[in-house]
Chain A
Amino acid sequence: MLLQAIINGILLGAVYGTIGIGFSLVWGVMNIINLAHGSFIMIGAYLSYTFYKAYGIDPFLSIPIVMLILFLIGYVIQRFLLNLVVRGSIFITLTFTFGLQILIANICLLIWKADFRSINLPYSGVSMSLGGVIIPVIRFGVFIIAVILTILFYLFMKRTKVGLAISATAQNYEGARVVGVDVKNIYSITMGVSAALAGVSGALIIPIMSINPFIGGPLIGKAFVISVLGGLGSTVGALAGGLVLALVETIGTTIIPSSFQNLLGFVVLVLVLVFMPQGLFGKRSYNE
């Protein structure tokens, strides 16, 4: 029972990790809490849903298209809107991204209606058994893809010129500008990459849970907890934060009544913020 919960937690944790990586990327690089990140995840999930329902494309195969579309959405929003206020005060960016979040929620409501949507794949009942622990194939696939994308993202940040430029901008944007980094463009790419990661998270969520246009809020709550737990540090921190949250959730369901789980999550969030503001793993700034 406990072992099963741990396995479930690890499988789910990788998805939470991708949520955390995308969210803390924008926070770390631009010092914005993007309250619309949950909406980006939601768009990804809806796109994946539509590709499956309308064209019969398997959600695992449509991930590249979903990522591309979300990248463009993120890039355009940053380039033409957010770049105009990105260095403003916290109220400005928080309020702005919240406005974006409810606007996107409303658009999704008009397109996909208020019903809960989910994908029931033909192989959704298939599972592997490993020493008494049951691993559904879908959840395993979701886990593998989340892990692969995390590794790819890590390599992107460490090995490519754009990734290094993003890190440089995060550390010192004036300095980056002086050495010839086009900050406007880098910010837009950062938001695009973050949105693409959100899109993947959405595409990975839709085969395992159902969504509606109002799920952006609860998802952003999870993103808070993950990035605060992991600290704003590295990809690894966000992944670890995702794992911790998923494990707490899955093991928690076997021990604590569900009505107290939400309470527990937020109490942990506040306590970590107050007593360990660098997260459980203690990193101070982005990608140092």
Chain B
Amino acid sequence: MNKKLIILIILIVLFIGFPFVLSGFWVRLVTNIFMFAILASALNIISGFAGYAAFGNMVFFGVGAYTVAVLMNKLGLSFISSFIFSGLVSILLALLLGMLLLRLKGHYFALATLGAAEAIKYIIDNLTDLTGGGQGITIPSLHGSPFFVNSVFYFLMFVLLIVIVAFTWWLSKSRLGYALKAIRANEEAAGVMGINTTVYKITAWTLSGLFTGLAGAVYAYWFSYIDPPTVFNVMWVVRMFVIILLGGAGTVFGPLIGAFILESLSELIWSQFLNLHLGILGTIIIITVLLIPNGIVSLLKTDRGLKGIIENIKKSRTGAL
């Protein structure tokens, strides 16, 4: 336990030092990895812990981003207050959608969240006066040297990541976390045992939506231009799911490991092949699902070297006929 803590502290110190040593490209790359780690950790709360496939989770990302954009562009609010507002809006949206949709299960829930996300995308697309519609909207950008700007967004994402990881760690040991795992294992039994499943599910999705929305808020300020097809793209959620599967669903550090692997692969290797970008991502998805559905960490838990890893791959395969 202590060893893990020491490694964690060393890592945190290393990451604090990063922007002062590395060039802008690398700082932005790591910021991007942080962002996906936050998004995947947030999805992990509802999908990994509670087992609900929230395939429309990008709705919170988009709404968080748009809240910041509209408040800063139209009302001239500061980023900090817009950021807080976007957290509130995300919570409110998650509560409303949760009460409406969390009575559904399985595929029906997945489809309904996707449908709701698309509907909200079109609402924002149609509120042209407020949101700029399909033209998109610009956000007043942060002024300063490139080093300053890069570092600000790096640390914003970093702090958010530390908060959500600490939260997930707490969750994995808390009453709420156990209740969610019970719901994932068998919702009816959990209900019979006296767990108020509705309250717990809505709580989980609200937390998930809050962190996703905050990440979207930082993203909007970071990129200083957003439009509906970009921030409401279903690819966000697909990446989150692949990251969770790669790293390990329902674990604390799985989403971090998965985000690190997928996003550095994406940036460094296949961004070179523009024509094959989607195909390679698709292939990675298929291989991940077939070979490592429980995450890379679970495969490495062996003392028998490569042979043990191969055995783990065979064991971990789920859902074969």
Binding site for B on A (CB under 8 A): 27, 31, 33, 81, 83-96, 98-107, 109-110, 183-184, 187, 217, 221, 224, 228, 259-260, 262-263, 266-267, 269-270, 273-274, 277
Contacts and interface: CB of A to CB of B under 8 A. Distances in A.
B145 interface: no
Given A84-B290, A89-B51, A99-B285, A106 B108 contact: no
Q: Name the residue in A91, A100, A106 with the highest tally of chain B Cβ atoms < 10 Å from its Cβ.
A: A91
A262 B119 CA distance: 8
Interface of A is mostly: helix
Contacts of A103: 278-279, 282-283, 286
Nearest first, the 3 A-B pairs at minimum CB distance are A88-B319, A99-B285, A103-B282
Given A85-B289, A103-B282, A274-B112, 20 more contacts: A33-B107, A83-B321, A84-B319, A85-B317, A86-B320, A86-B321, A87-B318, A87-B320, A91-B53, A93-B319, A94-B241, A102-B279, A103-B286, A187-B321, A221-B118, A224-B111, A259-B126, A266-B122, A267-B119, A273-B111
Contact of B286 (A27, A100, A105, A184): A100
A90 B107 contact: yes
A184 B53 contact: no
B289 A274 contact: no
| Main SS class of interface, B | helix
Interface string B52-66: 010100000000000
A95 B289 contact: yes
Contacts of A277: 104, 108
A260 B289 CA distance: 37
Contact of B320 (A84, A105, A260): A84
Interface string B2-43: 000000000000000000000000000000000000000000
A105 B249 contact: no
A27 B107 contact: yes
Contact of A85 (B101, B244, B282, B293): B293
Interface string B83-121: 000000000000000001101101110111011101100
Contacts of A86: 319-321
B103 A87 contact: no
Contact of A183 (B53, B103, B321): B321
Interface of B: 47, 51, 53, 55, 100-101, 103-104, 106-108, 110-112, 114-116, 118-119, 122-123, 125-126, 234, 238, 241-242, 244-245, 249, 275-279, 281-286, 288-290, 293, 317-321
B112 A273 contact: yes
Contact of B278 (A88, A106, A273): A106
A270 B112 contact: yes
A35 to B, nearest CB: 9
A85 B319 contact: yes
Contact of A96 (B122, B249, B285): B285
Contacts of A109: 275, 278
Contact of A90 (B106, B242, B276, B281): B106
Contacts of A267: 119
Nearest to B275: A110
B282 A102 contact: yes
A171 to B, nearest CB: 17
B198 to A, nearest CB: 14
B115 A273 contact: yes
Nearest to A32: B107
Contact of A106 (B106, B110, B279, B290): B279
B126 A263 contact: yes
B318 to A, nearest CB: 4
B164 to A, nearest CB: 20
Interface centre among A103, A109, A224, by most B CB within 10 Å? A103
A263 B289 contact: no
Contact of B101 (A84, A224, A274): A274
Nearest to A267: B119
19 contacts: A84-B317, A88-B319, A90-B53, A90-B106, A92-B319, A96-B290, A102-B285, A107-B279, A109-B278, A183-B321, A224-B111, A262-B122, A269-B115, A270-B100, A270-B101, A270-B119, A273-B101, A274-B100, A277-B108
Contacts of B119: 263, 266-267, 270
B249 A91 contact: yes
A96 B242 CA distance: 9
Contacts of A102: 278-279, 281-282, 285
A83 B289 CA distance: 12
A101 B321 contact: no
A139 B105 CA distance: 39
Nearest to A88: B319
B115 A270 contact: yes
Nearest to A31: B107
Contacts of B284: 99
Nearest to B244: A91
Contacts of A88: 289, 293, 318-319
A80 B282 CA distance: 17
A263 B118 CA distance: 7
Nearest to B101: A274
B283 A83 contact: no
Contacts of A260: 122, 126
Contacts of A228: 111
B100, B115, B244, B278 interface centre (most CB from chain A within 10 Å):
B115
Nearest to A105: B278
